[in-house]
Amino acid sequence: MAAAERRIGLAMDFSPSSKNALKWALENAIRKGDHLILITIRPEAHYEKGEMQLWEVTGSPFIPLMELSDPAIMKKYGLKQDPEIVDIIGSIPKQKEAEVIMKIYWGDPREKLCEAIDSIPLSSIIIGNRGLGKLKRAIMGSVSNYVVNNGSCPVTVVKHHHE
């Protein structure tokens, strides 16, 4: 990987906190020539046949930007788009001269994000934080906390501010 080429991962579940992290990345992290890789984790499922069965262990192939705006393709992966997110990611190539692609994994978000860091490989990763209270975080576990402590690249956690 050339010194100028950076692969920035962004955990994307199309939630308000991941949308907030995307906006933060656009304003603060993405530079000309970067590759922004949206990493989506779907629940583990058992597929009987077809592409999903092939990708269950290694994740999907990289999905180019033009396919991210196609509702039929996103439905194929079990994703429901947020029009605002589609607009934001669609503006990145023009605004920042950066490439945007997506990769989908199936399984536990904590483990799969750490796996993505090494398998892609990523220069850094940005994760939104839902701002759970101490009790909910203790019960549910914090994905961002796990990745900060176990990821092998710099991790930026963007806190979600409730309005």
Chunked mean pLDDT (size 10), the chain, 163 residues: 77 91 96 96 67 70 90 84 90 95 92 95 93 55 87 92 58
Q: Is residue 140 part of a domain?
A: yes
If you search the block for the tokens 């499922």, which residue do you land on?
A: 45
Output the pLDDT for position 134: 61
Output the pLDDT for position 140: 47
Q: Is residue 72 part of a domain?
A: yes
Q: Is residue 148 part of a domain?
A: yes
- Which residues have C-beta within 8 Å of that of residue 77, sequence separation ≥ 6? 40, 42, 60, 63, 104
Q: What's the whole-model pTM score?
A: 0.86
Q: Is residue 115 part of a domain?
A: yes
Output the pLDDT for position 59: 85
Q: Is residue 133 part of a domain?
A: yes
Q: Give me the domain span that covers residue 147.
A: 7-159
Output the pLDDT for position 78: 82
Q: Is residue 22 part of a domain?
A: yes
Output the pLDDT for position 159: 86
Distances (CA, A) of 125 to 6, 62, 67, 120, 122: 11, 17, 22, 11, 7
Nearest to 98 by CA among 38, 19, 156: 38
Q: Is residue 1 part of a domain?
A: no
Output the pLDDT for position 60: 86
Indicate which CATH number applies to the domain containing 106.
3.40.50.620
Output the pLDDT for position 54: 63
How many domains does the chain fold into? 1
